[in-house]
Structure 1
Amino acid sequence: MDDDRRICLAADIEQYSRFDTPGQRTAQAQLARMLRAAAERSGLDHGTWSVQPQGDMEFAVLPAGTSEQVVLGEYVTYLAAELGGYNATRRPTERMRLRLAVDSGVAAIAALGFSGPAPIAVARYLNAPEVKRALAAAGSASLAVVISDRLYQDVVRLRFHGHDPEQYRRIHVEQKGFAAYGWVRLPGVDPQDAGEPWRDTPEGGARPPARAAEGERPSFVQQDVHGTAVQGVIHGSVVHGVVPGGTGR
């Protein structure tokens, strides 16, 4: 099973539907370009990633052994820089803002792509209302990054590779049978200036009644789109159609 552990990530364009058809074509091309460029500038081989493009978003499973520190550090830094450079040359209506979700865990090849908790977690984090609100609340931000609690505890909290825990804010994501903590960062934005309509209950504070107490539920529940707890293959969400052993393109 350890051989199935991978870093999974997904990037999604905010308010993609506001673009007209030529604008959508441009946005898709630029998203693909920026994701490749950020990987290459970080020393990562994007050509070895199993990638599933889906119009306004891209889901990827990275090769075993990819450095979590590099993905959360250099890759995020260069992606923010690529976005900043692109937006600096565009009119306000043409600018792009992205949400990026990252988790590390089991992602096993399945008939329609990948199965396992990590692909499901990435999908839930990416579409969490808390993450969307974080990006919307920070008008100067071009990128909102949300990572799993596992990555935060293993990499960020211990300050590996120069990571700064003070740049992250905790959220609680509860969607489609999935429930877990995540951590949001807005690169280039001081957390103190970002506003906090999306922040989770502070450490030591009371948790809202809708959230179960620790130990009463698992960190996530793996379900299909019909709500049945089965293998956890995502159909019609983010991971179907990935070609086993290939890039999915």
Structure 2
Amino acid sequence: MKEISSPRPSTGLPHRRLCLAVDVEQYSRFDTRTQSAIQSELVRMLDEAAALTGLDRAAWKRQPQGDLEFAVLPDATPEDAVLGPFVHHLAVHLGDRNARPAVQRVRLRMAVDTGVVADAALGHAGPAPVAVARYVNAPQLKAVLATLTAADLAVMVSDRLYQDVVRSGQRALDPEHYVRAHVRVKEFGGYGWIRVPGHTPQDVRSAVTQAPKPKPLPEADAPSRTPLSQYVRQGAAVGRDVVGGLTVGLPVPPPPAGSGPTL
């Protein structure tokens, strides 16, 4: 009997890249023919939004998953261009598509983060792919689309990107347009920032409050008691699951003055 060999892990070294995921909301409600058409339309809209932004989609390392595309963008991709013009063009194309008569409406959730990525046997591994998978499925992002029924696109960026890129004001990115959300999905926890093109921060903030509150982690699974900006159990991201373990966060602050060592 012929032995079936298992996939060999990639020898690629980890590197820092911008990661992006776009997911179709309530995809399973469409029939097979419509799902196939939506997948083609999603690729076309991403291609056109990237071209108008000056981004080379041919250089993206894409990992399609049916109703979702995950992508690792090339080194030196301007992060502000992705968060600004690319999101704008995607929202416009999506709105134009949904305005066509007799078309079934498509709504999208999008997540963006930057961090360590490594090529792996079944796609990509590292904190950034895992974080993007969690952000795009965050209850708050889903609650925003469920509440703001006129919205076609909801975007969540990581706290890291918000602090480093959005708050710098590059490409007219306005920090006031983003609403912070505490995301806890599976073994991931951290802060993300939500923006909905065409809607005010007040609208988004009201919608975020409709999301279920994150449940506290069991004591055995909880990270350090030190407040963290983000933590994630790192491992191989296969589809939307993760295995392995590593905690990532802010440096541990020094102990208060006068406190002795704990025995």
Q: Same fold (TM over 0.5)?
A: yes
User: Tell me, what secondary structure is at the counterpart of 1:141?
Assistant: coil
CA change 1:140–1:208 in 2 (3 A) is: closer
How high is the TM-score relative to the length of structure 1?
0.83
Query: Where in structure 2 are the equivalents of 1:74-153 lying within 5 Å?
Result: 74-91=85-102, 94-153=104-163
CA-to-aligned-CA distance 1:92-145 (integer Å, 9 cap, x gap) = 6x0100000000111111222211100000000001111100111111110000
Give the structure, 1 or 2, with the largest relative contact order (CA under 8 Å, sep 6 or more): 1
Whether the aligned pair in 2 keeps the contact of 1:138 and 1:195 (CA below 8 Å) is no
CA change 1:142–1:192 in 2 (3 A) is: same
Task: Name which one, 1 or 2, has greater alpha-carbon Rg.
Answer: 2
1:31 aligns with 2:31: no
User: How big is the alpha-carbon RMSD for the aligned residues of Structure 1 and Structure 2?
Assistant: 2.6
Matched with 2:231 is 220
One of 230, 233, 236 as aligned partner of 2:236: 233
Q: CA deviation at 1:21?
A: 1.3
Whether the aligned pair in 2 keeps the contact of 1:169 and 1:199 (CA below 8 Å) is no
Distance 1:63 1:210 in 2: 36
Q: CA deviation at 1:64?
A: 0.6
Q: CA deviation at 1:195?
A: 5.5
1:49 aligns with 2:47: no
Whether the aligned pair in 1 keeps the contact of 2:179 and 2:204 (CA below 8 Å) is no
Identity across the alignment (%): 52
Distance 2:209 2:170 in 1: 24
Matched with 2:203 is 193
Distance 1:7 1:54 in 2: 19
Q: Which blocks of at least 5 consecutive residues in structure 1 are unaligned?
A: 201-206, 224-231, 240-249
Distance 2:50 2:57 in 1: 6
Whether the aligned pair in 2 keeps the contact of 1:130 and 1:198 (CA below 8 Å) is yes
CA change 1:199–1:106 in 2 (3 A) is: farther
1:183 aligns with 2:183: no
Matched with 1:160 is 170
Distance 2:228 2:178 in 1: 24
CA change 1:2–1:215 in 2 (3 A) is: farther
Comparing 130-139 and 144-153, the one that deviates more: 130-139
How high is the TM-score relative to the length of structure 2?
0.78
Whether the aligned pair in 2 keeps the contact of 1:3 and 1:64 (CA below 8 Å) is no
One of 197, 205, 210 as aligned partner of 2:216: 210
Distance 1:83 1:64 in 2: 27
User: Tell me, what secondary structure is at the counterpart of 2:54?
Assistant: coil
**Count of residue pairs the alignment pairs up:** 224
Q: CA deviation at 1:180?
A: 0.4
Distance 2:214 2:33 in 1: 44
User: Tell me, what secondary structure is at the counterpart of 1:210?
Assistant: coil
Return structure 1 stretches of 4+ with deviation > 6 angstroms.
211-214
Whether the aligned pair in 2 keeps the contact of 1:140 and 1:189 (CA below 8 Å) is no
- In structure 2, give the amino acid aligned to 1:174: R
Whether the aligned pair in 2 keeps the contact of 1:143 and 1:187 (CA below 8 Å) is yes
Matched with 2:8 is none
Whether the aligned pair in 1 keeps the contact of 2:49 and 2:90 (CA below 8 Å) is yes
